[in-house]
Amino acid sequence: MRFEDLEVWKRSARLSADVYRGMQSVKDFGFRDQWARAGLSVPSNPSFAFRLSPFASHLGTAMPITIEQLVAEVKTLPEKELDQFLSWLADYEPTHSQRWDQAIERDSQPGGRLDVVLQRVRGDIAAGRIKPLDEVI
């Protein structure tokens, strides 16, 4: 089974895309970036656990493990294996982030998968259904 086949991943990926599209009109780029990255963390969790399956099989399970199980197991690794794992993680993260950034960039282009959500958000803004952040916070 692939993590992309999990309903939780599919729904979280759609939510992440909705968040990203919904923030496109926000002029505060730092705030927008923070929301976009937070939205991306949701679908990243199931995919991360699945991608660790070779590590999980080392731990004696053929199924993906939970983050809590992974943390507990990492804490028990001998120093050499911990160094190997941390090295793999350092190499993995930038590549993973770049793929997500490229997918979001592609999907946020006119006609992309996020176009429908952006149209809905722009409609809400035009209709006055959106409050300025300083009124909400």
Domain count, the chain: 1
Give the chain's mean pLDDT: 76
* pLDDT above 80: residue 59: no
Helical packing angle, 7-22 and 115-126, nearest 10°? 40
Q: What band does 50 get if pLDDT is binned at 50, 70 and 90?
A: low
Are 42 and 12 in contact by the 8 Å Cβ rule? The answer is yes
| 126 compared with 31, residue with greater pLDDT | 126
Q: What is the mean pLDDT of residues 113-134?
A: 85
Is residue 125 classed exposed, middle or buried when 0-12, 13-18 and 19+ CB atoms within 10 A define those classes? exposed
Best CA proximity match to 56, nearest among 44, 48, 64, 45: 64
What value does the mean pLDDT take over residues 84-95?
78
pLDDT above 90: percentage of residues in the chain? 1
| Domain extent at residue 128 | 3-136
At residue 113 the predicted structure's pLDDT band, cuts being 50, 70 and 90, is confident
Position 62 pLDDT exceeds 50: no
What is the per-residue pLDDT across 6-18, written as a single tens digit (0 to 9) for each?
A: 777 777 778 778 8
